Structures are given as C-alpha cells and as structure tokens.
Amino acid sequence: MTRQAAGATREKLLIAASDVFVEKGFRDATVAEICRRAGANISAVNYYFGSKKALYQEAWRHSFAESIAAHPQDGGVSEAAPPEERLRGQVKALIERIADESSKDFFISQMEFANPTGLLHEVMKSELIPLREKTLSVVRELLGPEATEEQVALCETCILGMCMHPLLMQRARQRLKIPEAPVVIHDLGAYIEHVMKFALAGIRAIRGQCRISRGPHR
C-alpha cells in the first residue's frame, strides 16, 4: 500500500477515535471500528498509541484543544471591557462551545463519569481549574469587594450550571435520538441573553443582601 504523509495516520486515528468514542462510549467503541474509519490497519492504534486507553486520552486532549481554539474563553471581549461585558463573553463562549457540533470534549468528559479512566484527575488541574479561575475573578468584580469567597463560588457555580446542563441535555437529545425530550433552546443568542439576565439579577440580589446585612443594626 502507498504510505501516508508523516503523522497523517496518527491524526486520522485521533479524529476517528473522538467520533467513535462519542458515539459509543469507551467500552463499546472498538479499536477495529476506529481503525476502519481512519482507513488504517487494526494494529495501528497499538502502534501509534500503545493501547486503546492511551488513544482515548489523547483523543480527549486533541478535542479539547480544538474546541477551546474555536471558542476562546473570553468570547472575543477585551480585558479592558466592563465586567458585565466580560462575563457575557465568557457565557457566550462556553454556550457556543458546547453547542458546536464539532466539539467532542464535553461528551468524552461525560463518558468519563460512566467509565472513569483517570483522565479527569489530570485534566481538572491543568485545564478546568484555570478556566474556572477566570470566571471567578469576573464574578468577584461584579459582586463587589464586600462579597465573601463563598458567595463568589456559589454564583460561579450557578452560572456554570445554567450553561452546562441545558446544552448538554440538548446535545444528548440529538446524539441519542430522544424525541421525547423537550427542545427548550431554539436560539442560542436568546439563551445566552436569558442566562445573563438570571446571572446579573442573581448577582445583584446577592450584592443587595451584602449591603443590608452590614447595616448599623448589626
């Protein structure tokens, strides 16, 4: 057979692997199918990655890098913009990232909960904590100097939940073909604005309560 350009087979395997892992999960995905889709031989996985598990981990990293590159965390909003706009940028980036059909990393993460391979330990520290830190700092600014770290963390958690859960469900609906599940989000932009309304109203409510609870009657 004619040989591929250097690294081409490896790359094809990573892409095919992401697809198959997303479709079938770690255990139900077979090395055979991944190789077939990549147009490679059955032993290519072991040759290039050593094992199915190692391929799986590499495929996640590959998908994550691609999806973050396509949707940078700041959502295209400048560091100098007011905090409200920066939060909107981050919410927009996250929601669009999850909604983007080409991003696979969330599904691989979801799978990790079902079939843990230890990948999350690593990824948590190197990738997810830094992303979270950025959001915490914008929320901290919006809450003002009186807010406790506890309040900052709770607000960030709520915002993350409003972005993650609905969009993960929406994609699961398509992916697993569950027509019984309700379609709630018809327009991404409208949903982003809706989340922002909840987030800002919630943050304002917490701010208000801070001020009250520190009055002269205390």
109/137 Cα distance (integer angstroms): 25
Residue carrying structure tokens 């095919």: 16
Q: How many residues does the chain have?
A: 218
Q: Interface with DNA includes 151 (CB under 7 A)? A: no
Select 137 or 157, whichever has its Cβ closest to a second copy. 157
- Binding-residue pattern over the window 113 to 142 for a second copy, x denoting contact by CB under 8 A: xxxx---xx--xx---x--x----------
Q: Binds 198, which of DNA, a second copy, none (CB < 5 to 8 A, cut-off by type)?
A: a second copy
Record the tokens describing residue 105, joined without a space.
Answer: 């990393």
3 binds, among a second copy, DNA, none (CB under 5 to 8 A by kind): DNA
Cβ closest to a second copy, residue 197 vs residue 214? 197
- Measured from the CB atom, is 69 or 113 closer to a second copy? 113
Cβ proximity to a second copy, 54 vs 153, nearer residue: 153
Residue 129 has, within 13 A of its CA and on its CB side, a CA count of 7
- Could you tell me the two tokens for 11? 């790359």
Q: Pick the piece of the chain touching a second copy (CB under 8 A) from 61-69, 86-94, 137-145, 188-196.
A: 188-196
Closer CB to a second copy, residue 50 or residue 130?
A: 130
CB under 7 A: which stretch of 40-48, 80-88, 101-109, 156-164 binds DNA?
40-48
- Coil, helix or strand at residue 10: helix
Minimum distance, C-beta of residue 203 to a second copy, in the bound complex (Å): 8
The terminus-to-terminus CA distance of the chain in angstroms comes to 81
b vs e for 179-208, b when ≥16 Cβ sit within 10 Å of the residue's Cβ?
eeeeeeeeebeebbeebbeebeeebeebbe
The CB-side HSE value for 41 (13 A sphere, CA atoms) comes to 8
CA separation for the pair 151, 136 (Å, rounded): 10
CA-nearest of 111, 138, 135 to 123 is 111
Q: Is 29 in the site for DNA (CB under 7 A)?
A: yes
Express the helix, strand and coil content of the chain in percent, nearest 5 each. Answer: 75, 0, 25
- Would you tell me which residues interact with a second copy (CB under 8 A)? 24-28, 107, 110-116, 120-121, 124-125, 129, 132, 150, 153-158, 160-166, 172, 176, 178, 180-182, 184-186, 190-191, 194-195, 197-202, 204-206, 209
Where along the sequence are the contacts to DNA (CB under 7 A)? 1-4, 6-9, 28-32, 40-47, 51-53
